[in-house]
Amino acid sequence: MKIVHTIEDLRAQLSGQTRAAFVPTMGNLHEGHLSLMRLARQHGDPVVASIFVNRLQFGPNEDFDKYPRTLQSDCEKLEREGVYVCFAPDEKAMYPEPQEYRVAPPHDLADILEGEFRPGFFVGVSTVVLKLFACVQPRAAVFGKKDYQQLMIVRRMARQFALPVEIIAAETVRAEDGLALSSRNGYLSGAERAEAPRLYRLLNSIKERIHQGEKNVLPIEKDALNQLQQAGWKPDYIAIRRRSDLKAVTAEQMAAGEPLVVLAAAKLGATRLIDNLEI
């Protein structure tokens, strides 16, 4: 596997490659990330991964400086997965001058749910993803469904800018007890790790209630929030939304079989966990 640290070296390494499949990451890789590499291989060749902790998507009180940097072990994992190139720039290589041009996704999609609690997050995500696409020039790129809103925003960005990149959605990878794999799970204490699967169980209970015919989402969301609070969590949101645009769903739409997704974000101790489940 080739490890490159500048845009110039990346482009030289990929010169003539027209079918690259790309997986952008922030490193600290786990099995969920590695499953994205395997899926990428089904949609292009060679497979290119990036490791870059993107300051633009961190808020002033978030964990940018504490975010784990594990480049050596990450590269060993990527090599075992047959990744051809790992692009691991530093901030100076990625942003040689202040990134004054930004991609601003539409407010009705980017300023709800995660965007409400992390202002500017999706501007940072969209900007770095567009720049990475320009650097790698892949034919396909893989994003996990765990970051459901991010996947939707990237997919729309690619469509509206007519980018020649197919956006591939990867199913969420979970531990045996249901907890969605995440780099931030490493922050959990032993007791918190034992409690963490409650979030996924709660999403499944919401799915079951809807499948049993409940049509009023507000009581379902309120009950779920109360359950988390009583268990010592600090929830930001639990929301049942339309898959098509993440807007609130009406009883009529539910009765008509509108495809739904339930999304959740909550703090367990000092660690913020997110998850979702399609209904």
Are the CB atoms for 47 and 82 separated by under 8 Å? yes
Known catalytic residue at 107: no
**∠ at Cα 150 (264, 140), nearest 5°?**
140
Are the CB atoms for 103 and 157 separated by under 8 Å? yes
Sign of the Cα pseudo-torsion (55, 144, 156, 208, in order): negative
Q: Which of 33, 43, 107, 211 is catalytic?
A: 33
> Who contacts 126 (Cβ-Cβ below 8 Å, separation ≥6)?
102, 103, 104, 105, 110, 153, 154, 157
Beta bridge partners of 267: 234, 272
Active site residues: 33
